[in-house]
Structure 1
Amino acid sequence: MTVTVDGRSYRLDHRIHYIGGKKKPSRHLYLRMSVRGKQGWINLKTSDPDLAVLAAREKIRGGLPLEGEEVDFSQATVAQFLAAFKALGILPPKTYRDYRNKVLRVVAWIKGIEIPSVTTGPRRKAFERKVGAVRLSTIKEQDLMAWRERQVELCRRDSEKRQSPRSPNGLIAAWWAVFRKSSLWDLFGLSSFPGLDLKKLKTKKVVFRTLVPLQGLIDKANQELKEQDPDCYDLFLLATALGLRLKEADMLLWSAFDFDRKILSLRASVLYGYKSYQSEGDVKIYNDKVLAHFRSRFENRIGDFVLPSDRPAGEDKETTYYRCEPTADRLKAWLRSHGVVYEKPIHYLRGAGGNQVRIDNDIFAAQCFLRHASVQTTIEFYSEVDTSYSTTLEF
């Protein structure tokens, strides 16, 4: 079922969640907000189709003015703009919340509003109301420039409260994303907005470093995990041989495998929206042993998910967590015991696999394996520097 608002169609459907490995549809209808593969689901709290359509229209409009109306910019607040931005539906809920929180932090600093250390509860809500009530017209370019200069000071080596420049850069990126030129400018009567010319702070280039030989790690996994902990071994292969992120492996269904075509088809679903549009696609299963292993596991599967777990997935989840977290914890401990002393050891496997694809092929093959939107990302984060180069030149 669909509902159309302002010429755009939105889908209404029952969500599917899993309890004890069994599919169960939700009692209520949900509204799907999706753009370029990123999606979120909003509970309409009714199973009646007619009432659901009315509720969906209200959710979609969500604070946006009616067509032909404009907001008085001198009176418009940060909260009103954020509500209108959310109603555009261009971001999944989790990403929107992250952007909103970052914008609120910047506004709080330039207005001298204390930022609470807590992320939930009455103090946090009072903080959000106070910052949300700030009028857009009172935000000045010089205030944002002063904020940036303060961040530069905090990132200096001699700063007592030294921080990484990546933190303020994330705040600047969120500011750009929310207030960049869009249809909201016409609705709010904007011709420009402060902060869009802010430059990010310089950061030290991050280069992938091989901690242990990947082939040796694979041999160890074959000896110590394949028979003793098959779920752990599956996660190891998904990250190393297929380049999946932990969340992608966590929500992977057996239906994604096409063993005859030797591909893994990654598509957004009601359960999970991928990190970006480019993260979706077909992953080539290039190794016959990996293909045979997952075919065998498929034939002996005990549920719909590749990584089994007793934890529910879907609308019954009250908190955000990985379904396969117990399996992931075991694999992390095993990796660290074998020399992968890394903050995110499973993500290290993905990077190591991509780096090996680069060595055996080229940087563009690694980009395809890692499903990056830009080859620059692959170059910057997942290519180990090779200082053993040579040339055929004669001097």
Structure 2
Amino acid sequence: MKPDPRSKAQMAPRRFPKTDARYWLKKVFTRSNDSYHCQIAFGGKQERWPLKTSNRETAATKARDIYLSLVADGYDATRAKFKPWEVEAELNRVEKVTVGHYIDAARVVFPGKATTFLSYERKFRFLVAQLASMKADKSKFDPLEGHKRFRKTIEATLLETITPQRVEQWRLNYIKAAGRSPAKQQSARVTAASIIQNCKALFSKKILKELRHTAMVLPSPLPFDGVERGKLPRARYRSKVNIEQLAQDAYAELREQKPELFKVFLLALGAGLRRGEIDTLTWKQFNFRDGTLSIEVTEHGSLKTDSSAETIDLSADVANYFQTQMQASNSAFVISSTADPQARSPHWNRYRGNAHFKALIDWLRSKGVSDRNPLHVLRKEFGSLINQQFGIFAASAALRHSNLTITREHYVDRRERIALDVSKLLTPPATPAPVNGKPANGSPPTDQKEVPIQAAQLGVAA
């Protein structure tokens, strides 16, 4: 048999590029019906494309067109052109929002500080876990991301399952679980109110307004629609310290030996500054000519609220003390520290002068200041002293509160005594001397003697 004179290249099956419809003639296939389909690999993934025809040549031509569209326009545009029914179904499908989805979306548009949002989302997760009766076991504290697994379980909860009725019932059950002790019930009310208030902040009007511009479809009603935090006990500040003695002790024990602690003490008690404001305060914010201190946003820190920006009047002694300290200081900050002022943490309030704050808190506790936040007590004492001398409106302005209610309910102690002298009511007035043997009031004489009621007999101090 004579060998075939054609070369191997001539004998090999002819190959066509993918841009040629003939390439796809052997690639198209039928499934359960007579319509052709094809599998096209592109961009690292493979996808099946229904060609909607029972003619092989027509199917091959359409497969080629799909491939060319993928190369030119990408997956999204090609699917919209050749699989419009799938794209339309995806657009019409409403993905149910989970707790995790909502928290992530709200975090992006939240206008406040990251540390504030962190507090809100922690309270919300706690409430969701309580509603779902999720109890954390030891695995939550597994150093190999055990807490992340527990959080993931909480965040997978559908937002639509957190209804206002369930939240209201949770609040009642939470208080009931505290037992019959009035003190424990009051503590539970405060805790429940704090949790609900923080959770409601996640669904504020500002956040919801921003989320309307996204594709997220929120349930109706929202979890906290119409939910009240509950009535809280009166939280007016009641002073438990002898502020005069405390100030004298600070002057004697801190002024020379621990000047940084004394500066913190003086700024909190003498100017009513918050910890964060003290921490980032610079010498440039003082105006020693006018005896004032400007609280404002700087490159080192922001303010708690817009109303916190204000010019504070300083007493002459306080202004002179800090002017002397500035001349001896080598730092741009009033409170010296070796910590990096640019260091920030998204998860907690990081203070460059934290070592000084802790030392002063320990000193205050040693002096009998037993409140949860001893340093903040100095600010409240400042407000109480201003209120005593100048009134509640001056105290609210000095504390830089946004409204008078905050000052009245949380920051000032009523130092003046309001007591009725009952002894004056119990002791009758002295009887006038008789005139010409007759009573001065013109009543007929009588042999009966009047015995005045002595306040001491009733146990009332005269």
- Could you say which TM-score interval applies, normalised by the shorter chain? 0.7 to 0.9
Give 2:104's match in structure 1, choosing from 75, 78, 83. Answer: 83
**Gap regions ≥5 residues in structure 2:** 1-89, 426-462
Contact 1:252 1:307 in 2 (8 A): yes
CA-to-partner distance for each residue in 1:41-66, whole Å, 9 max, x for gaps? Answer: xxxxxxxxxxxxxxxxxxxxxxxxxx
Give 1:269's match in structure 2, choosing from 298, 314, 321. Answer: 298
TM-score normalized by structure 1?
0.73
Q: Output aligned runs, 1:29-108, within 5 Å.
A: 75-108=96-129
SS class of match (2:417): coil
Contact 1:241 1:290 in 2 (8 A): yes
Poorly superposed stretches of 4+, deviation over 6 Å: 69-72, 159-162, 316-319
CA-to-partner distance for each residue in 1:166-188, whole Å, 9 max, x for gaps? Answer: 22212111221112442225643
Shift of 1:377: 1.3
Matched residues in 2 for 1:370 and 1:72: separation? 52
Shift of 1:156: 4.4
Shift of 1:267: 1.8
Distance 1:70 1:309, change over 3 A: farther
Matched residues in 2 for 1:368 and 1:119: separation? 49
Give 1:311's match in structure 2, choosing from 310, 318, 339. Answer: 339
TM-score normalized by structure 2?
0.63
Matched residues in 1 for 2:221 and 2:345: separation? 41
Matched residues in 1 for 2:93 and 2:289: separation? 60
| Number of residue pairs the alignment of both structures matches | 325
Distance 1:340 1:148, change over 3 A: closer
Shift of 1:240: 0.4
Contact 1:372 1:378 in 2 (8 A): yes
Distance 1:99 1:323, change over 3 A: same
Q: Using the TM superposition, name which of 179-188 and 323-332 deviates more.
A: 179-188
CA-to-partner distance for each residue in 1:316-340, whole Å, 9 max, x for gaps? Answer: 7697543223322332333333333
**Gap regions ≥5 residues in structure 1:** 1-68
Distance 1:180 1:234, change over 3 A: closer
Query: Within the alignment, does 1:381 sit opposite 2:410 as a pair?
Result: yes
Give 2:313's match in structure 1, choosing from 274, 284, 292. Answer: 284
Give 1:141's match in structure 2, choosing from 154, 164, 173. Answer: 164
Correspondence for 1:11: none
Matched residues in 1 for 2:94 and 2:413: separation? 50
Please provide the CA RMSD for this pair.
Answer: 3.1
Shift of 1:161: 8.2
Distance 1:365 1:152, change over 3 A: same
Matched residues in 1 for 2:180 and 2:285: separation? 48
Query: Within the alignment, does 1:114 sit opposite 2:135 as a pair?
Result: yes
Matched residues in 2 for 1:329 and 1:382: separation? 22
Matched residues in 1 for 2:142 and 2:120: separation? 14
Contact 1:263 1:284 in 2 (8 A): yes
Matched residues in 1 for 2:92 and 2:280: separation? 42
More strand by share: 1
SS class of match (2:294): strand
Contact 2:160 2:222 in 1 (8 A): no
CA-to-partner distance for each residue in 1:129-167, whole Å, 9 max, x for gaps? Answer: 222222222323332222112122134444998653222
Contact 2:125 2:154 in 1 (8 A): yes
Distance 1:71 1:140, change over 3 A: farther
SS class of match (2:236): coil
Question: Which of the pair has more CA radius of gyration?
Answer: 2
Correspondence for 1:241: 270
CA-to-partner distance for each residue in 1:332-389, whole Å, 9 max, x for gaps? Answer: 3333333333332221111111100000001111111222222111111222235722
| Higher normalized contact order (CA 8 Å, seq sep 6+, divided by chain length) | 1
Matched residues in 2 for 1:205 and 1:217: separation? 27
Correspondence for 2:323: 295
Matched residues in 2 for 1:119 and 1:266: separation? 44
Amino acid at match of 1:300: A
Correspondence for 1:174: 198
Contact 1:207 1:382 in 2 (8 A): yes
Query: Within the alignment, does 1:197 sit opposite 2:226 as a pair?
Result: yes
Distance 1:334 1:180, change over 3 A: closer
SS class of match (1:265): strand
Amino acid at match of 2:150: F
- Percent same amino acid at aligned positions? 26
Distance 1:106 1:341, change over 3 A: closer
More helix by share: 2
